[in-house]
Chain A
């Protein structure tokens, strides 16, 4: 199928990109550094190593999504390589959707490599590596569905730097939107209430994707929460990718 061509080419482009390899190597170095500061954490060594590992996977894969994803469409417009793709029998939306899933494939591979490295470190340090940790990695991956969609949306109309700044901003705000709703609920002003409500639904709500603390401390998480969070990621990113397709469809080159 044609869309597979775009997906695989995006994958091939990204893994031949130096940024991608650099970030992965750096992530593994950071995970190993957990071993160095381990003696400082009295009696909590295992938790520190797990904490650093899970956070590195989340942070560095997000970096890949933003730095590589933010350039994906822009670079094609800038270098005019896309002229020769969208003048073939392929719909413009197929191009965007192909780019999106291509990048998700890259992120899946990155997370796979980093997670393998993480488990290897745990085994080498003789730390019990429960499969529970994988739940957190799974949610990190679905969080990337949202981040990647946002990165691609910006990529269709702004420069990579502006796009990266805004995507980062949304990533950080995204972890606070739940607090925003609580704050709005406390306010007496109706306007503040409505505004915070609107922002709560429009902005990505990323706090639910962060269950690192819970899995590190072996707190059980209700399966419904996991399922709902994944469903949220799929719906939210579908809407954003849809918006990107509409913008891209109307574009003049």
Chain B
């Protein structure tokens, strides 16, 4: 299958301060993103997500290694008309209104004049900025700027969309609308690469994720590969258990939380569920719900980060 993004041993050092002090922002990054894929790039603050993205869009040159985008070097100017980019907390010319700005973007991306107006209207509607088209962006809120950012990234109908924390500053409705936009782009055959530290967003829409920590890619793969599809725990809610019975069940499960008239029980295996059911039948207790829980990305993320931190010590 065609690769849209390939990085080989990508390394970036920043030199700061008066002394020759270097910060290695990313180290030997080997990433592959396939065509028509939604790829989530995950990592905590300072992990190197923005640095990687800056290399991919040609704002920064790698110290070592290389980054290929759409089959060419990431600094190649010709591929830029096929890439849509949204930087982290984007900022635009404050003296322009969104329509003037999108017009400039369309012009720079080489969209024919006749086509410009149609694209602009479509995108203003898509990101719901209709009410603000005449307002200079000086007065825009963070979420409104983010919407302009999404519109400018899509104005030239790019094949690959690279977004740095696209959900930043968006309200819950905005996040949902954004997820729909991304899924629609995938349907149209586009490839989407975006960074985030909000795991719920990734779980809902990503085909694959990459986890970056301290500049190193520590895990990539399909979500179900990373998380495993098997069920980790069962959560039972039961009514009609008295104190004595709760004590008995505590011998089977190490997580029993009684509240007013219900008890929450967490067990690891189906066999344990069976044993509790038997006890319940004896005393005439009632099962209100039984929910199998898979490992969440959050669990995985936190355990990976802890593993890395332990290695450091």
List the interface of chain A (C-beta within 8 A of B).
2, 5-6, 9, 12-13, 16-17, 79-81, 83-91, 252-253
Q: Are A79's CB and B81's CB within 8 A?
A: no
Q: Are B60's CB and A252's CB within 8 A?
A: yes
Q: How long is the Cα–Cα vector from A12 to B100 in the complex, in angstroms? A: 11
B107 within 8 A of A: yes
- Between A9, A12, A86, A91, the greatest number of chain B beta carbons within 10 A of the residue's beta carbon is seen for A9
Q: How long is the Cα–Cα vector from A87 to B77 in the complex, in angstroms? A: 8
* B32-40, B86-94, B220-228, B301-309: which lies at the interface: B86-94
B interface bracket (residues with beta carbon within 8 Å of A)? 20 to 34
- Give the chain B neighbours of A9 by CB distance below 8 A: 93, 96, 104
B154 within 8 A of A: no
Given A84-B152, A88-B80: A5 touches B107 (CB 8 Å cut-off): yes
- Give the chain A neighbours of B156 by CB distance below 8 A: 88
B262 within 8 A of A: no
- Give the chain B neighbours of A6 by CB distance below 8 A: 108
Closest to B85 in A: A87
Closest to B60 in A: A252
Given A12-B95, A253-B59: A84 touches B105 (CB 8 Å cut-off): yes
Q: Are B77's CB and A90's CB within 8 A?
A: yes
B207 to chain A, nearest CB (A): 25
Closest to B162 in A: A87
List, sorted by A's number, 19 A–B pairs whose CB atoms are closer than 8 Å: A6-B108, A16-B95, A17-B95, A79-B91, A80-B87, A83-B87, A83-B90, A85-B108, A87-B58, A87-B83, A88-B105, A88-B108, A88-B109, A89-B77, A89-B80, A89-B81, A252-B59, A253-B54, A253-B60
Q: How long is the Cα–Cα vector from A236 to B119 in the complex, in angstroms? A: 42
Q: How long is the Cα–Cα vector from A2 to B61 in the complex, in angstroms? A: 24
- Give the chain A neighbours of B107 by CB distance below 8 A: 2, 5
B90 to chain A, nearest CB (A): 7
List the interface of chain B (C-beta within 8 A of A).
54, 57-61, 77-78, 80-81, 83, 85, 87, 90-93, 95-96, 100, 104-105, 107-110, 152, 156
Given A87-B80, A88-B80, A253-B59: A81 touches B91 (CB 8 Å cut-off): yes
Q: Are B105's CB and A87's CB within 8 A?
A: no
- Between A2, A13, A17, A81, the greatest number of chain B beta carbons within 10 A of the residue's beta carbon is seen for A81
8 extra interchain contacts, Cβ-Cβ under 8 A, other than A83-B90, A253-B60?
A2-B110, A9-B96, A12-B100, A81-B92, A83-B59, A88-B81, A89-B77, A89-B110
B165 to chain A, nearest CB (A): 14
B134 to chain A, nearest CB (A): 15
Q: How long is the Cα–Cα vector from A16 to B93 in the complex, in angstroms? A: 11
- Give the chain B neighbours of A84 by CB distance below 8 A: 85, 87, 90, 92, 105, 152
Question: 3 shortest A-B CB distances, which residue pairs?
Answer: A89-B80, A5-B107, A89-B81
Q: How long is the Cα–Cα vector from A71 to B228 in the complex, in angstroms? A: 54
Q: How long is the Cα–Cα vector from A89 to B82 in the complex, in angstroms? A: 9
Q: How long is the Cα–Cα vector from A91 to B77 in the complex, in angstroms? A: 7
- Give the chain B neighbours of A17 by CB distance below 8 A: 95
Q: Are B78's CB and A89's CB within 8 A?
A: yes
Closest to B86 in A: A84
- Between A5, A13, A80, A88, the greatest number of chain B beta carbons within 10 A of the residue's beta carbon is seen for A88
Q: How long is the Cα–Cα vector from A13 to B78 in the complex, in angstroms? A: 28
Pick the residue among B91, B95, B105 that contacts A13 (CB under 8 A). Answer: B95
- Between B85, B91, B108, the greatest number of chain A beta carbons within 10 A of the residue's beta carbon is seen for B108
